[in-house]
Amino acid sequence: MQSEKRLEVKNHKELIEAPPSSVICLVSEWLANLDNQQTRRAYRSDIQDFFVLVGARSVENLREISRGHVLMWRAALEEACLSAATRRRKLAALACLFDYLIERDPRYTRNPVHGIKRPRTEYYEGKTPALSRAQAKLLLDAPNLLSAKGLRDRAILAVLLYHGLRRQEVASLRVCDLQKRDGLLHLRIHGKGGRLRYIPLHGDAENSINQYLEGTCVERDKSCFMFTSLRGSKAGRSLSADGIYKLVFHYALQAGIDVAGLGVHGLRVTAATNALENNADIAQVQHWLGHASISTTRLYDRRQNRASDSPSFKIQYEL
Summarize pLDDT for 270-301 with one digit per residue, the tens: 999 899 888 899 999 999 999 988 888 888 77
* Helix and strand totals (H; E) in the chain: 14, 3
At 199 the pLDDT is 94
pLDDT for position 305: 63
- Indicate whether 127 pLDDT > 70: no
pLDDT tens for each residue of 55-108: 887 778 888 899 999 999 999 999 988 888 889 899 999 999 999 999 888 888
Q: pLDDT-derived band of residue 262, with 50, 70 and 90 as boundaries?
A: confident
Residue 119: predicted pLDDT:
83
- Residue 259: pLDDT band with limits 50, 70, 90: low
How confident is the model over 177-188, as a mean pLDDT? 94
Share of the chain above pLDDT 70, in %: 85
Domains and CATH numbers, the chain: 4-120 (1.10.150), 133-305 (1.10.443.10)
Instruction: Determine if the pTM surpasses 0.85.
Output: no
User: Could you tell me which residue, 268 or 23, shows the higher pLDDT?
Assistant: 268
DSSP collapsed to 3 states, 219-236 = HHCCCCECCEECCHHHEC
Put residue 202 in one of left, alpha, beta given phi > 0 → left and psi -120 to 50 → alpha: beta
Residue 316 pLDDT > 70, yes or no? Answer: yes
Confidence of residue 156 (pLDDT cuts 50, 70, 90): very high
d(CA 301, CA 282): 9
Q: Is the pLDDT of residue 219 over 50?
A: yes
pLDDT at 17 over 60: no
Q: Provide the pLDDT for residue 217.
A: 62
Torsion of CA 111, 112, 113, 114, to 10 degrees: 60
Q: Would you state the pLDDT for residue 120?
A: 76
Average pLDDT value over all residues in the chain: 84
Q: Flag whether pLDDT at 249 surpasses 60.
A: yes
> Higher model confidence: residue 124 or residue 57?
57
Separation CA 217–CA 210 (nearest Å): 13
pLDDT computed for residue 145 by the predictor? 92
Question: What pLDDT, on the 0 to 100 scale, is given for residue 297?
Answer: 86
Residue 261: its pLDDT value, please? 65
Instruction: Kindly state the DSSP code that residue 125 receives in the 8-state scheme.
Output: G
